[in-house]
Amino acid sequence: MFTMKKWLICAVIIIFTATLLFANETHEKSHLTVEVKDGLVSLDAKDVPLSEMLEEIGKRANPSFNVRSFITNRVTATFENRPLKEVINQLVKKNYAIAFDKQNNHLKTIFLLPEGSGTSTVILDEDRDIAKIFPGPNSDAQIDIDEYIKKRHQCLDKLQIQSGKNSLTAQLSFNEYIPAPEIIDRLKDKITISVFNIGWKEMAGGYNVNPSYSKEEVLQDLNFKHEQFLHNILQDKESLLLNSENLEMRRSAEDLFQNATEQLSMMGQGVMTYGAEVSGTTEKIKDLLADPKIRLIDAVECNVETKNLLAQEGYKQTRFIILPLKPISP
């Protein structure tokens, strides 16, 4: 039979053990240890805000970097001597903007953006107080490209609902190469084209459209320049072949002439394009999505989170540079 005194001792022991266990559990619930040595990160974290984790890495990294967070995600993660790039990629995933200093290419700030913001790179040109923003897919993987396209098109839907009459500048990417006259015909009366992304197979380039030119003048000037440069390549054929000392060089020269010849033979259709920078109302730009040959429309307005964040950081001037996605070679 337990006496009262024994009951009391047992109760004290139980309470003491429970307190210890509870205290330990509390400690275990959230913890963070970070070490950065020679660019390698070791980290053990449980249920810690992502921003806090990155701030700790940023403080220890050389050169150090800052974190500006607009999310409250908590994460659990373990890394043992992993490169900084890998750790950041795995932790930050897809909704972020990375700003770096143009002078020395050092990572400066990671902006953690709300879900759906997508990936951007930001170059801080402190000499001129301009932040250049480059939105783009997280990688060349199809899954990332598809997600990027989906998000941008969802954004256009939203913009159209908010105000379809507002004017946008957008970058179009085509599924396949399309002759410039066909693109002008498809887009005329809807939007204004400022740049054509031109090319064929391994050749790629750009043409800036003069806003004061008529459609005919644009095509005439583009055709003239393109044809002239392609003819130049063919004129240089003998000289290049003479200076090609081996078969491999001669073959590569022949490939170049072949490409120029193919493009010249297609000039009846016009110069091949794979994208265009355009401007017009949200409604009109949104309408372009009905065209099955238009693969992606990305607009500055779909990347405003980053712009706003940079404005908060003191960068009042921002410039967006959106590059087209190239189609698979025909």
Judged by the rule CB under 8 A, the positions of this chain that interact with another protein are 85, 88, 98, 100, 102, 105, 107, 121, 123, 132, 134, 136, 198-199, 202-213, 221-222, 225-226, 229, 232-233, 236, 239-240, 243-244, 246, 248-249, 252-253, 256, 259, 321, 323
User: CB of 15: closest distance to another protein in angstroms?
Assistant: 53
Question: Closest approach of Cβ 256 to another protein, in Å?
Answer: 6
Q: How many residues does the chain have?
A: 330
- Inter-residue contact 91 to 82 (CB < 8 Å): no
CA-nearest of 185, 188, 210, 209 to 198 is 209
Rank residues 162 and 239 by Cβ distance to another protein and give the closer one.
239
To another protein, the closest distance from the beta carbon of 120 in angstroms equals 10
User: Hey, is 88 helix, strand or coil?
Assistant: helix
Q: How far apart are CA 113 and CA 25, in angstroms?
A: 32
Question: Smaller CB distance to another protein: residue 90 or 210?
Answer: 210
Q: How far apart are CA 48 and CA 30, in angstroms?
A: 6
User: Between 6 and 85, whose beta carbon lies closer to another protein?
Assistant: 85
Within 10 angstroms of residue 295's Cβ, the number of other Cβ atoms is 19
- The smaller minimum CB distance to another protein, of residues 124 and 159, is found at 124
Pick between residue 73 and residue 121 the one whose CB is nearest to another protein: 121
State the nearest-atom distance from the C-beta of 264 to another protein, in Å: 13
Q: Using alpha carbons only, what angle is made at residue 177 by residues 257 and 222, rounded to the nearest 5 degrees?
A: 70
Minimum distance from residue 57 beta carbon to another protein (Å): 14
Q: Name which of 87 and 302 has its Cβ closer to another protein.
A: 87
Q: How far apart are CA 310 and CA 100, in angstroms?
A: 12
- Classify residue 105 as left (phi > 0), alpha (psi -120 to 50) or beta: left
At its nearest, how many Å lie between another protein and the CB of residue 184? 15
CA dihedral 37, 38, 40, 41 (to 10 degrees): 30
Burial class (CB in 10 A: 0-12, 13-18, 19+), 323: middle
Beta carbon of residue 27, minimum distance to another protein (angstroms, whole number):
35
Q: Which is nearer to another protein, 20 or 204 (CB)?
A: 204
Is the CB of 107 or the CB of 183 nearer to another protein?
A: 107
In angstroms, give the least distance from the CB of 78 to another protein. Answer: 22
- Min dist. Cβ of residue 17 to another protein (A): 50
Q: Give 22 or 224: the residue with its C-beta nearer to another protein.
A: 224
Using CB atoms within 10 A of its CB, is residue 144 exposed (0-12), middle (13-18) or buried (19+)? middle
Does residue 271 contact residue 179 with C-beta atoms inside 8 Å? yes
Contact (Cβ atoms closer than 8 angstroms) between residue 296 and residue 274: no
Determine the Cα–Cα distance for residues 274 and 206; give it in Å rounded to an integer: 10
